[in-house]
Amino acid sequence: MPYQIFEVSGRTIEVDLYGDAGPLVVLAPGMGRGAADFSDLAGTLSRVGYRAAAVNPRGAGQSRGPAEGLTLHDLADDLARVIETLQGAPAAVIGHAFGNRVARCLAADRPELVKCLVLLAAGGQVPPPPEFLAAMAVLRSSEATRAEKRDAMQRAYFSKDSSPDPWLEGNWPETLRIQAQAGQATPLSDWLAGGSAPMLVVQGLEDICALPANGRRLKEDFGDRVELEEIPNAAHAMLLERSEVVAARVIEYLNRQFEQR
């Protein structure tokens, strides 16, 4: 899997590239996570005729840029620069968790660059329950043991039958800090609707971080613009837990959007 470094407007953006032909699909990972989370999905997309570009957000991998006073609009512009540099407009944009907020902000700010959106574990409207907040308190504690953090990771992000071990690694603290501040600094109304782009929303029915009610609310609010897929036995980490199911649904949707075979 090759990667490419883009130097644009004082920023360094590292992108994992899969495939060299076909419509462009840009992938934005979840909060504090990197492009590697998309390795399976991006690889599958490349094998069925798409160019996939998984973007490391600022602070992850070799991606760097201004880190203070940012909003989601700044982070969305990083995705815009990737699409422009790869000459892939209009591109499909896939966002997982926090990444779907950045994707929706991009579609609102630069609609000419976005063919469609795929939102995996979409939150933002319906807050998580107390049990999620309790698990997060353990994950943020400097006194919690590794075993306690593993248990909290399981409860917060994974279904009961899945191992959380892959997410004990691959976390980028500076990325988490940047994204948390940018999210708090951006009004919900700036990004929630995703402009006017068509959307596929994929929700895990066991997700207690981005509750399934969020996807249902998007479908209620935006009607035919939104296709909703709910996956059983999947939680926030659906890319690991139900990778084949997610990939199949995403590919079917993209094929229709791009009128692929």
Q: How far apart are CA 233 and CA 70, in angstroms?
A: 36
The tens digit of pLDDT for each residue in 33-76 reads 999 999 999 999 999 999 999 999 999 999 999 999 999 999 99
Rounded to 5°, the CA angle 121-243-201 comes to: 30
DSSP for 210-254 reads: S-HHHHHHHHHHHGGGEEEEEETT--TTHHHHTHHHHHHHHHHHH
What pLDDT score was predicted for residue 178? 98
What pLDDT score was predicted for residue 260? 65
261 has a pLDDT exceeding 70 = no
> Would the pTM count as exceeding 0.85?
yes
Angle between helices 243-257 and 39-47 (to 10 degrees): 40
1 has a pLDDT exceeding 90 = no
The tens digit of pLDDT for each residue in 124-139 reads 999 999 999 999 999 9
Task: List the end-to-end C-alpha distance of the chain, in Å, as a whole number.
Answer: 25
What is the number of H-type helices and E-type strands within the chain?
10, 8
